[in-house]
Amino acid sequence: MKLLRSVLHNTQMLIGGSILLVFILIVALAPFIAPYPCWRQDYTVTLQPPSRAHYFGTDDFGRDTFSRVIYGARASLLSAFGAAGLAGIIGIILGLLAGYFGGYLDRLIQGLVDVTWSFPSLLLALVLVIIMEPGLTTTMIAIALGYWPQYTQVLRSEVLVLREEEFVLAAHSIGASNKRIILIHILPNVIAPVIVLISLTMGYAIIIEATLSFLGLGVQPPMSSWGTLLSDARDFLSKAPWLSLFPGIAITMAVLGFNLLGDGLRDLLDPRLRRRR
């Protein structure tokens, strides 16, 4: 009950969670919400402004923009969840190993972190997508490889403190294995900042995926994402501004939802912030 009251009084978390819940429902119910197939072309209604027949207007092929935005949410959100999850798995494993064992392993992992951080995340994603075949899976991998160091650094710092705590030393003294200590005693106590990082990483992932797709290096046809919709609309900014307006709003709202959720989770899970409030 105390946790529920804290959540209900956390405005940022409620607003961010509500926004993301709407997007998740849209993705899940896309076939029922979209009035037209996203690929359907009708050259008799090209570049039509928003109307009752086409809520967000139509593009130069007569495709319904509302339906394309609905279906584009699938690729954008899937890349966000996939990239954040993969970055979290890599970062958590390396962070736990570096913080717990230290020594040569820690220096090696820190070297990998420094090398990765020497490249801007977007530039690294661009290079990886160019090297590999463009697509949704490649986009998720490229984003994850740019953001795993954040998880590693946070986990390493937390583990360095926890491994000197009495309950960890007591587990050592009774002969608990390193694997058990890491998984049972340390990991549950460092998972809170990871949850916050995952929600924030998803917001960055949506922006990078949209950028890559805008450049033609992300999601490939026949799939579409909000980035590909913006790319298709760039030649019609003055003639049909609605083509770029609605995908841009969708990206903004999704990123805002993830950021608000991340800030709310940080306030909820950080005991120091709770006491201050």
68 lies in some domain:
yes
Tell me which of 5-14, 50-59, 63-72, 137-146 is least confident. Answer: 5-14
4 lies in some domain:
no
Each residue's pLDDT tens digit, 122-157: 788 788 878 887 888 888 888 888 889 999 999 998
Q: Label residue 219 by pLDDT band (50, 70, 90).
A: confident
3 lies in some domain:
no
Give the structural domain span for 111. 11-24+63-276
Tell me which of 57-66, 70-79, 119-128, 203-212 is least confident. Answer: 119-128
Please state, in angstroms and rounded to a whole number, the distance separating the CA atoms of residues 109 and 207. Answer: 27
pLDDT at residue 9 in the model: 67
- Total structural domains within the chain: 1
Token pair in block for residue 130? 């160019």
Please state, in angstroms and rounded to a whole number, the distance separating the CA atoms of residues 129 and 232. Answer: 20
37 lies in some domain:
no
Domain of residue 123, CATH code: 1.10.3720.10
* Average pLDDT of the residues in 111-132: 83
Residues 6+ apart with CB under 8 A from 105: 97, 98
41 lies in some domain:
no
Each residue's pLDDT tens digit, 226-246: 988 998 888 888 888 889 999
Q: Label residue 254 by pLDDT band (50, 70, 90).
A: very high
143 lies in some domain:
yes
Please, what's the b/e burial string for 96-133 (b: 16 or more CB within 10 A of its CB; e: otherwise)?
bbbbbeeeeebeebbeebeebeeeebbebbbebbeeee
* Average pLDDT of the residues in 172-192: 86
Please state, in angstroms and rounded to a whole number, the distance separating the CA atoms of residues 166 and 242. Answer: 61
**DSSP secondary structure of 59-104:** -TT--BHHHHHHHHHHHHHHHHHHHHHHHHHHHHHHHHHHHHH-HH
Token pair in block for residue 238? 């003055």
Each residue's pLDDT tens digit, 256-271: 999 888 888 877 766 5
40 lies in some domain:
no
Is residue 104's pLDDT more than 50?
A: yes
